[in-house]
C-alpha cells in the first residue's frame, strides 16, 4: 500500500498537477476515482476530505494529513519528497507567488474555455468570450515573463513550473494555439522533457487503482 492516495478524476487539470508531481518525483500513489457526474464529490465521505467538494484531495497515511487545493498539495509534496521545492526559502516563496498567479490569472480562463469546448460546462456567449480573453491575456503574460528564462523560478524546475504547466498545457484542448507564444512553447517542451513526465492525457488512471 502506497503512502499517498490521490482522489481525483482523470479529466481534471488540478488533479493532473498532483499526478504529474508524483510522476516527476517517482513517488507511487494510490488513486481513487471520484465520479463527479454522480455527485460523489458532494457526498459526506468526500466532504470530510475536502470541505469545498472538489477534486483533487490528497491523503497521506504516514502523517494523517488530508489536503485539498492542488497548489497546496504540490507545496506539501515538495517538502515531503524533497524535490521541486526550490533551492532556498526565497525560491519557495517565489514559486508560491507563481502558484497564486496561476490560480488567480490563468486557471479560470484556460480551464473554463476548455471545459466549454469539451462539453463539460456551458456558458453564455459573452462569458465564453470573456473566459477566452482571460486565458489569452494570462498566456501572453506568461510568455512575456518567460523571456530569457529557462524555468519560472531559479535555475531548475520547481512546483511553480509543475503548477503552471498543469494549467497552460490544457490550452490546446481549449482551442488555443501556442504559435504566438514562442517562449511559452519552449518552456512547455522543457517541462515535457523532465524525467518521469506524463502528459495531460496519460497521467491519471480512468478508474481507481492501488500503487
Ligand atoms: N482550486 C482548486 C480547483 C479544483 C477544481 O476546480 N476541481 C474541479 C474539477 S477540475 C471540481 O472538483 N469541480 C466540481 C465542483 O466544483 O463541484 C484546486 O486547484 O485544486
Tens of pLDDT, residue by residue over 125-158, are: 999 999 999 999 999 999 999 999 999 999 999 9
Among residues 81, 100, 117, which one ends one of the domains? Answer: 81
Statement to judge: residues 117 and 181 lie in one domain: yes
Q: Is the pTM of this model over 0.85?
A: yes
Regions in the chain scoring below 70 on pLDDT: none
Counting the structural domains of the chain, the total is 2
Statement to judge: residues 61 and 106 lie in one domain: no
What CATH number is given to the structural domain containing 169? 1.20.1050.10
Cβ neighbors of 56 (< 8 A, separation 6 or more) are: 6, 7, 8, 12, 14, 15, 17, 18, 68, 70, 73
Please give the number of the atom of ligand 1 that sits closest to the Cα of 55. 12
Query: What is the model's pLDDT at position 120?
Result: 93
Statement to judge: residues 62 and 94 lie in one domain: no
Statement to judge: residues 46 and 116 lie in one domain: no
CA torsion 46-171-4-2 (nearest 10°) is 120
Q: Is residue 204 part of a domain?
A: no
Query: What is the model's pLDDT at position 17?
Result: 98
Domain residues for the domain of 156 are 89-192
Please give the number of the atom of ligand 1 that sits closest to the Cα of 56. 20
Distance CA 96, CA 165 (A): 14
DSSP 8-state code for residue 40: G
Statement to judge: residues 37 and 118 lie in one domain: no
Q: Is residue 198 part of a domain?
A: no
Query: What is the model's pLDDT at position 1?
Result: 82
For residue 1, the SS3 value is coil
Atom 14 of ligand 1 has which residue's CA nearest to it?
Answer: 54
Tell me how far the alpha carbon of residue 88 lies from the centroid of ligand 1, in angstroms. Answer: 30
Statement to judge: residues 187 and 96 lie in one domain: yes
Tell me how far the alpha carbon of residue 70 lies from the centroid of ligand 1, in angstroms. Answer: 9
Statement to judge: residues 43 and 116 lie in one domain: no
Q: Is residue 14 part of a domain?
A: yes
Q: Is residue 110 part of a domain?
A: yes
Atom 11 of ligand 1 has which residue's CA nearest to it?
Answer: 54
Tell me how far the alpha carbon of residue 139 lies from the centroid of ligand 1, in angstroms. Answer: 21
Statement to judge: residues 120 and 152 lie in one domain: yes
Q: Is residue 208 part of a domain?
A: no
Distance CA 68, CA 14 (A): 10
| CA neighbor of 96 nearest in space, from 25, 150, 159 | 159
Q: Which three cell numbers stand for residue 187?
A: 518552456
Statement to judge: residues 126 and 168 lie in one domain: yes
Residues with CB under 6 A from ligand 1: 12-14, 36, 41, 53-56, 69-71
Amino acid at each position: 500500500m502506497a503512502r499517498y492516495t490521490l482522489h481525483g478524476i482523470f479529466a481534471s487539470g488540478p488533479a493532473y498537477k498532483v499526478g504529474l508531481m508524483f510522476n516527476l518525483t517517482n513517488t507511487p500513489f494510490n488513486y481513487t476515482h471520484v465520479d463527479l457526474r454522480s455527485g460523489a464529490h458532494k457526498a459526506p465521505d468526500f466532504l470530510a476530505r475536502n470541505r469545498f467538494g472538489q477534486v483533487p484531495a490528497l491523503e497521506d497515511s504516514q502523517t494523517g494529513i488530508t489536503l485539498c487545493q492542488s497548489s497546496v498539495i504540490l507545496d506539501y509534496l515538495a517538502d515531503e519528497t524533497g524535490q521541486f521545492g526550490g533551492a532556498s526559502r526565497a525560491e519557495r516563496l517565489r514559486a508560491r507567488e507563481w502558484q497564486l498567479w496561476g490560480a488567480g490569472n490563468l486557471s479560470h480562463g484556460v480551464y473554463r474555455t476548455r471545459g466549454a469546448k469539451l462539453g463539460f460546462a456551458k456558458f453564455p456567449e459573452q462569458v465564453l468570450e470573456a473566459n477566452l480573453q482571460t486565458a489569452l491575456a494570462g498566456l501572453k503574460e506568461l510568455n512575456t515573463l518567460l523571456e530569457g528564462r529557462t524555468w519560472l523560478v531559479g535555475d531548475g524546475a520547481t512546483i511553480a513550473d509543475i503548477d503552471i504547466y498543469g494549467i497552460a498545457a490544457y490550452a490546446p484542448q481549449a482551442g488555443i494555439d501556442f504559435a504566438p507564444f514562442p517562449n511559452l512553447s519552449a518552456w512547455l517542451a522543457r517541462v515535457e522533457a523532465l524525467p518521469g513526465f506524463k502528459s495531460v492525457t496519460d497521467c491519471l488512471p480512468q478508474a481507481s487503482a492501488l500503487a
